[in-house]
Structure 1
Amino acid sequence: MTLSRTFVAAVVGILSAATSANAITNGVGKLPAWNAFACDVNETLIIQTANYMKEYGLLDVGYNHVNLDDCWAMKDRSSTGEVMSDNIRFPSMNTLTDQLHALGLYYSDSGWFTCAGFPGSFMHEEQDATTFQSWGFDFLKYDNCAIPFDDIIQEGMIGSGAWQMLSLRWQKKTGTTLIFSLCEWGWIDGDIGPQWNLISSIINSVSFITQATNYYGRNDLDMLEIGNGDLTYDEAKTHFTAWALVKAPLLIGTNLATISQEMLSILKNQEIIAVNQDPIYGTSISPFRWGINSDWTYNAMYPAQYWSGPSENGTVFMLINTESEPANMFFNLTESPWIRAGIQYSVRDLWTHTDNGTAVRSFTAMNVPAHGVVALLLKEDGNEPTGLMPPCAGEAFYECTAENGTSYS
């Protein structure tokens, strides 16, 4: 579900954890997004973007769609009701998709108009589906602007998601796969922007709804702002890590013509991408401790700091330093529900790409940068050493008692 109303149009590559229709497939769905150009888009820009994706190796790591969002249409439909592409900026959608040699991505809306004022699909749903299919597109973003009054639509979120049924019928009829992105505003606070306060606010929002992610649908946290605006390198790493590990679609909303190699390297972290695209576990990581604040505290500036979740290769941890200065970050392993007591774990750093020894009972990340992140993969590495005291670890053990009755609580 795309939750942004930002009027940006055109794109780069996206690697997307699929929402809805293209749900249970290895690779999960990979695409691009748009927060760089507003409505200043045309066929040449889209082709240039695709070329940059190939030149910079983004295609090689899985960003294999191009996303055209809003502002591609004529302001009026044809005399028979068909939506038409702008005859100057997008003279032939079929030519565009042929040139891309890949899946196309287009935009539609569930209301009278799109968010930028172009024709929406209300009362034209099946007609638009036929048009989009004839253009060779394979991804549908169904946004939520200009919704008719309740006494007209008389339906809730499920009813307004009729496109989902159309997309499934499309797949059955044509044998092609359509990725369906449904917008339902209200779950995530505000639009994305290249400032830390906006990134931290969205991380705070998603910390309370991680249970709403699996292969049948993903929380979409909006575009990736890597390389845009005021984000530092460490903030950009946190931004990418959080989006990837909560299994959000990874839509690059950046002008690839101006992105730095440093920022590009963030988008190409294959160890982080592998967790986002995990073929076994579609679930998001979740907070196991909030850190600065008590658990379940809603705070847009200081969201949850300690997160974990399963992956096909071990337990994933994300530690976010929400403070404005470097900090050490400590946790007991068994605070995570995915860790077994009595086991030691090998530690893989997903950003330095190094194996960092073995963790026994606890782990401390040293000197985490301000607004920075640590991403770890822990794998079982045999039993913990014998003779450790106390014989039980973690505050969750209210009583640690030997057979003879000796208590260590």
Structure 2
Amino acid sequence: MASFALLITSLLVVWTVLSREPPVVHALDSGVAKLPVLGYNTWNAYHCDINETVVLQAAQLMVSLGLADVGYKHVNIDDCYAEKNRSASGDIVADKERFAAGMNDLTDKIHAMGLKAGIYSDSGWFTCQLYPGSYQNEARDAKLFQDWGFDYLKFDNCAVPYDAIIREGIVGKYKRMADAIADLAKSSGKPPLIFSLCEWGEEQPWLWARRFGQSWRTTGDISPDWGSIASIINQNSFIAWASDFYGHNDMDILEIGNGGLTHDEAKTHFTAWALMKSPLLIGTDLSTISDADLAILKNTELLALSQDPVVGTGVAPFRWGINPDWVSNSTHPAQFWSGESQNGTVFMLINTLDEPADLFFSLTESPWIRAGRQYAVRDLWTHTANGTAVRNFTARGVPPHGVAALLLTDAGDEPPDVGPPCARREWCIDRNGTLAPGA
């Protein structure tokens, strides 16, 4: 009996362990950056030619051009703001000539405009331009950035220490600053710095970076040409699932207004970044931006979808189009995308050809469309109603490298006798077991 009782006890223990739900890994919810960050970054327009005048002018233009009014709130300084050497006490020192009034004066002025301020550092010995990095100074630097008044930290991936020194993989290297930011928030009682990991996608940060920060770079650096835009869209088409509240695939800085893109390519660029829920960081000289480019950046309907407080996920491909599904092609990425929103189903249709094209799809190819219903179509670029779609839709004459961005809202049951019993005919079966006509 004793051995039987022991067997029963053992079986109960095994059953209890096996029946437990597996642990759920939640996105890092630190209370900051639930939605993608919208703002400005100095690098693409100015590189190392930055100073307090340049930064404050960018902030002032964000306000005067109405960008702040539609949600662009961050003014982020990139590399090259520091002296080449730390102070005697070990702190990063702001360049005494280019930031003569000091970083606290700068962030005070940015905050006074109703904006937020971002700073830059690196997970290695140096930044990418060989200014002091934060390796082995993570806690010191996080506190300094907070004391300076910054709200956001872009953290780069240059000057990696030797393996025998760091004895960590890429995850551990970024965990050091993530822990420093979390510890600082606890000790100071202030909100944590928004943590943007700039890892370039080589070590698949979408698999692990959510536990540390609110965004992670997924590719190498962007450039202002269609080849770069198409390649980034292609790479992100396979990891669209990774973006949600508090964690976003970062497709890099917006190149709208820097030359090199046609007007239609710039619209595609902005549409893809907004609907895939990437951070939207403007990277152009705002003092020279055209009205046409400014209008792209201020498309409030697309910005509302980027900042949807109810649905955190973005669009994802439901059909690749030119290529077989799930095939990578850096020049011809997926063409047919859809996603949820609080106000309807979002569609993004990209013409990757060098000539105009009609883009046709069946509504129920998207998993977010209900069969047997018709849908009112809104064009998110012309800001107009575009009729009612029943079963299918064709976006006609989409320009080369252009885009159609649509919001479909349920408009009731589809009309009677609209066609075969099922729009998707495979295995469409009557309740008596016979295949439906045309199936």
The question of whether the paired residues in 2 share the 8 Å contact of 1:21 and 1:164 is answered with no
Q: Select which of 146, 154, 171 maps to 1:158.
A: 171
How many residues in Structure 1 have an aligned counterpart in Structure 2?
389
Structure 2 CA distance for aligned equivalents of residues 122 and 190 of structure 1: 22
Matched, 1:250 2:280: yes
Give deviations 1:339-362, integer Å, cap 9, x for gaps.
111111111111000111211111
Matched, 1:65 2:74: yes
Q: For 1:198, which of 228, 240, 247 is the aligned residue? A: 228
CA deviations over 1:272-310 (Å, ceiling 9, x no partner): 011111111111210000001111111110000000011
How far does residue 67 in structure 1 lie from its aligned partner after superposition? 0.6
For normalisation by structure 2, the TM-score amounts to: 0.86
Q: Which residue of 2 aligns with 1:357?
A: 387
* Deviation, structure 1 residue 400: 1.7
Return closer, same or farther for 1:399/1:126 CA change in 2, 3 Å cut-off: same
Distance of aligned partners of 1:252 and 1:145 in 2 relative to their CA distance in 1, 3 Å threshold: same
Q: Give 2:96's aligned amino acid.
A: N
Match status 1:41 vs 2:50: yes
Alpha-carbon distance between aligned partners in 2 of 1:144 and 1:184, rounded to the nearest angstrom: 6
Q: Distance in 2 between matches of 1:229 and 1:249?
A: 21
Q: Does 1:301 align with 2:310?
A: no
Distance 1:218 1:25, change over 3 A: closer
Aligned counterpart, 1:149:
162
Question: Partner residue of 1:175?
Answer: 190
Give the alignment partner of residue 32 of structure 1, picking from 19, 27, 40: 40
* Distance in structure 2 (CA, Å) of the matches to 1:376 and 1:231: 22
TM-fit CA distance, 1:403: 3.2
Counterpart amino acid of residue 183 in structure 2: R
Query: What corresponds to 1:236 in structure 2?
Result: 266
Give me the whole-angstrom Cα distance separating, in 2, the residues matched to 1:216 and 1:103.
Answer: 18
Say if 2:157 is the partner of 1:127: no
CA, structure 1 residues 83+24, in 2 after alignment: closer, same or farther (shift >3 Å)? Answer: closer
- Which of 393, 400, 412 is the aligned partner of 1:382? 412
Contact 1:33 1:67 in 2 (8 A): yes
Q: Does 1:112 align with 2:122?
A: no
The 10-residue stretch of structure 1 (143-152 or 176-185) with the greater mean CA deviation from structure 2:
176-185
Q: Tell whether the 8 Å contact from 2:352 to 2:402 is kept in structure 1 after alignment.
A: yes
Q: Which amino acid aligns with 1:140?
A: L
Residue pair 2:339, 2:346 contacting (<8 A) in 1 also: yes
* Corresponding residue SS for 1:287: strand
Distance 1:234 1:219, change over 3 A: same
Corresponding residue for residue 365 of structure 2: 335
Mapped contact 2:35–2:246 kept (Cα < 8 A): no
**Residue 407 of structure 1 pairs with residue 436 of structure 2:** yes
Distance 1:21 1:398 in 2: 43
CA contact (8 A) 2:103 2:148 kept: yes
Q: Which moved more, 1:91-100 or 1:326-335?
A: 91-100
Superposition pairs of residues 285-296 of structure 1, within 5 angstroms: 285-296=315-326
What code does the residue aligned with 1:402 have? D
2:109 aligned with 1:99:
yes
Partner of 1:10: none
8 A contact 2:348–2:406 mirrored in 1: yes
Distance 2:29 2:135 in 1: 20
The worse-fitting range, judged by mean Cα deviation, of 182-191 and 372-381 is: 182-191
* Sequence identity (%): 56
Distance 1:309 1:340 in 2: 13
Measure, in 1, the Cα distance between the counterparts of 2:190 and 2:364. Answer: 46
- Separation (CA, whole Å) in 2 of partners of 1:315 and 1:381: 12
SS in 2 for 1:274: helix
Paired amino acid for 2:138? E
The answer on whether the counterparts of 2:219 and 2:251 sit within 8 Å (CA) in structure 1 is no
2: CA distance, partners of 1:146 / 1:389? 63
In the alignment, the residues of structure 1 paired with residue 351 and residue 120 of structure 2 have an alpha-carbon distance, to the nearest angstrom, of: 36
Determine if contact 1:29/1:179 at 8 Å carries over to the other structure.
no
Aligned mates of 2:29, 2:120 — CA distance in 1: 16
- Indicate which of 206, 211, 227 corresponds to 2:241: 211
Deviations 1:302-337 (A, max 9, x none): 000000011111111000000001000000000011
Structure 1 match to 2:426: 398
Which of these residues, 54, 59, 73, is aligned with residue 63 of structure 2? 54
1:231-274 CA-to-partner distances (Å, cap 9, x unmatched) read 01000000000011110000000010111000000000010011
- Name the amino acid aligned to 1:279: P
TM-score, normalised relative to structure 1: 0.92
Displacement of 1:81 in angstroms is 0.6
Letter in 2 for 1:179: I
**From 58, 81, 95, the counterpart of 2:90:** 81
Say which of 263, 278, 290 aligns to 1:260.
290
1:28 CA displacement: 4.7
SS of the residue aligned with 1:140? Answer: strand
Are the counterparts in 1 of residues 34 and 246 from structure 2 also a CA contact under 8 Å? no
Q: Does 1:310 align with 2:323?
A: no
- Alpha carbons 2:35, 2:312 under 8 Å: kept: no
Q: 1:273 aligns with which of 274, 281, 303?
A: 303
**1:218, 1:310 → 2: CA distance?**
16
For residues 158-184 of structure 1, the C-alpha deviation after alignment (integer angstroms, 9 at most, x for no partner) is 322222222233333333342110122
Aligned to 1:320: 350
Judge conservation of contact 1:226–1:252 (CA < 8 Å) in 2: yes
Q: Do 1:28 and 1:279's aligned partners in 2 also have CA atoms closer than 8 Å?
A: no
CA distance in 2, matches of 1:327, 1:318: 14
Taking the aligned partners of 1:211 and 1:49, their CA distance within structure 2 comes to 33
SS of 1:275's equivalent in the other structure is: helix
